[in-house]
Amino acid sequence: MTIWDKGKKTDSRMMEFTSARDRELDQQLLWADIAGTAAHAVMLGKTGIIPEEDAGSTVAALKEMFKETLIGKIEIDREAEDVHSFIESYLEKKTGEAGKRIHTGRSRNDQVMVAMRLYMRRSMLEICTLTDRLFELLLNYGEQYRDMAMPGYTHMQVAMPSSFGLWFSAYAESLADDLKAIQYAYSMANQNPLGSGAGYGSSFPLDREMTTQLLGFAEMNINPVYAQMTRVRAEKAFAVAIASIASTVGRLATDICLYSGENFSFIRIKEEVTTGSSIMPHKQNPDLAEIIRGRCNVLQNLPQDITLLAANLPTGYHRDFQIIKERLLPAVDTIKDCIEMMFLLVSNISVRTGISGDPRYRYMYSVEEVNRLVMKKMPFREAYRKVAAKIRKGEYVPGRAVKHTHTGSTGNPSLDRIDKKYKKLRASIPFSEGEKAIENLMTT
């Protein structure tokens, strides 16, 4: 069934091409579209646009549908073109004439935008919940290994003393900054487009403030033309947030691959989360880290995918927008999987002790020697040349004591400040307001 059917048969090949993946992807949006439809029905009844008793029976049916969807009892059938036609057909079967009124005052355009916004809001919450666990693990490791020396590298050459505490907590702070992208993406998704219709408003006296409140949006997209323009903008902001987290997780995966190799041997991955070789019995391969890295690399192209989909489109709705779902929804599942698997991987890492005593790392203390001379009032450039001359002549003897005290150094990693930074950003994203609104709408 199509909700735009005018009585003339449509070529099945065209329908298959334009809608083939809609049912599969829309299953993930079903709960959100039900909630958006319920808010619209409440508003239609309260404003007198449709009879209040019709609105009441429609909302009751939607609440039951919502509950059964959450426990997996309802799936979009093959007779439906998409989630929107499925809900409308469901309501007609359950409520008769009342269900036929539900599309009054809206278009599939603002309908799908609402569903996508609700889906994105909840997906960001789920992503942040997984990120919370990884952040806490990395910060705890930062504390556990704060005094364990580790060589730092520049240009892939031994550079200066670092610590495992700094390495782990660096990725914790990176996740904190990733929340800034989530914060912005949530603010874009947390605007109500319902009532913008096909992009030009409606002649019905819709109460957009009411639906904004019912769905827990912070505000609405005021201009209906702009509401359609945000269909790309909101999704792209979310894509940037996904790519940002993917960058952090993927880079950590690369470090783990490198540092677990025999040439570094800084860390060891437990055998339970490695794989073997078909011909080399000694191998313990970091396949998990490599797959995480590969998937995260692909995710970093997501914002560009969405940008190019809309790059040459004029104002108004275009069917091209549908393809955004095909990119964004699977990406959400992928980033959640990658974060969860990175938590598993890091949980199964052990750190090697005594690395700094290896002779190959003796020159990493040269800067400490330069700084020691500077603290004795020698000009920095003169101290630099003096230590360099010793190294060239083979006279340099490293002093392995490192006494850094400034904020963020090996001696003062300031993990409490990183924790505070993360938690402040996390608390600034109003997840609970949106979730509570949906719960109130669909259960009370």
**Which tens digits make up the pLDDT trace of 307-330?**
999 888 899 888 888 899 999 999
In the chain the domains, ranked by start, together with CATH numbers, are: 12-101 (1.10.275.10), 120-357+414-443 (1.20.200.10), 360-408 (no CATH)
Alpha-carbon separation of residue 112 from 27, 86, 135, 406 (angstroms) = 13, 13, 33, 52
Output the pLDDT for position 107.
Answer: 95
Q: How far apart are CA 175 and CA 180, in angstroms?
A: 9
Residue 7 has pLDDT above 90, yes or no: no
Task: Tell which residue, 54, 441, 46, 437, has the closest CA to residue 204.
Answer: 46
Give the model's confidence band at 60: pLDDT under 50 very low, under 70 low, under 90 confident, else very high.
very high
pLDDT tens digits for range 215-268: 999 999 999 999 999 989 999 999 999 999 999 999 999 999 999 999 999 999
Angle between helices 52-70 and 83-95 (to 10 degrees): 120
Phi–psi pair at 192, nearest 5 degrees: -85, 115
Residue 14 has pLDDT above 70, yes or no: no
Output the pLDDT for position 325.
Answer: 93
Residue 10 has pLDDT above 70, yes or no: no
Task: Tell which residue, 201, 35, 197, 189, has the closest CA to residue 108.
Answer: 197
Angle at 392 between CA 387 and CA 395, to 5 degrees: 65
DSSP classification of residue 10? P
Residue whose tokens read 């609405």: 220
Residue 17 has pLDDT above 70, yes or no: no
pLDDT tens digits for range 276-286: 888 988 889 99
Output the pLDDT for position 72.
Answer: 94
The pair of structure tokens assigned to 249 is 């997780």
pLDDT tens digits for range 158-215: 999 999 999 999 999 999 999 999 999 999 999 999 999 999 999 999 999 999 999 9
Output the pLDDT for position 23.
Answer: 77
Q: How far apart are CA 156 and CA 172, in angstroms?
A: 22
**Percentage of the chain surpassing pLDDT 90?**
81
Output the pLDDT for position 386.
Answer: 95
Give the model's confidence band at 411: pLDDT under 50 very low, under 70 low, under 90 confident, else very high.
confident
Residue 140 has pLDDT above 50, yes or no: yes
Output the pLDDT for position 401.
Answer: 79
Output the pLDDT for position 141.
Answer: 98
Output the pLDDT for position 20.
Answer: 56
pLDDT tens digits for range 142-168: 999 999 999 999 999 999 999 999 999
Cα-Cα-Cα-Cα torsion 73, 76, 78, 82, nearest 10 degrees, comes to: 180
CA-based Rg of the chain, rounded to a whole angstrom? 28
pLDDT tens digits for range 334-388: 999 999 999 999 999 999 998 988 889 999 999 999 999 999 999 999 999 999 9
The pair of structure tokens assigned to 299 is 């995710």
Output the pLDDT for position 4.
Answer: 46
Give the model's confidence band at 80: pLDDT under 50 very low, under 70 low, under 90 confident, else very high.
confident
Q: Are 142 and 413 in contact (CB under 8 A)?
A: yes
Output the pLDDT for position 16.
Answer: 63
Q: How far apart are CA 264 and CA 243, in angstroms?
A: 29
DSSP classification of residue 9? P
Output the pLDDT for position 215.
Answer: 98
pTM: 0.93
Other CB atoms within 10 Å distance of the CB of residue 118: 26
Residue 19 has pLDDT above 80, yes or no: no
Residue whose tokens read 């069917």: 319
Task: Tell which residue, 93, 92, 85, 89, has the closest CA to residue 111.
Answer: 85
pLDDT tens digits for range 425-441: 999 999 999 999 999 99
Residue 1 has pLDDT above 90, yes or no: no
Other CB atoms within 10 Å distance of the CB of residue 207: 17
Residue 302 has pLDDT above 80, yes or no: yes
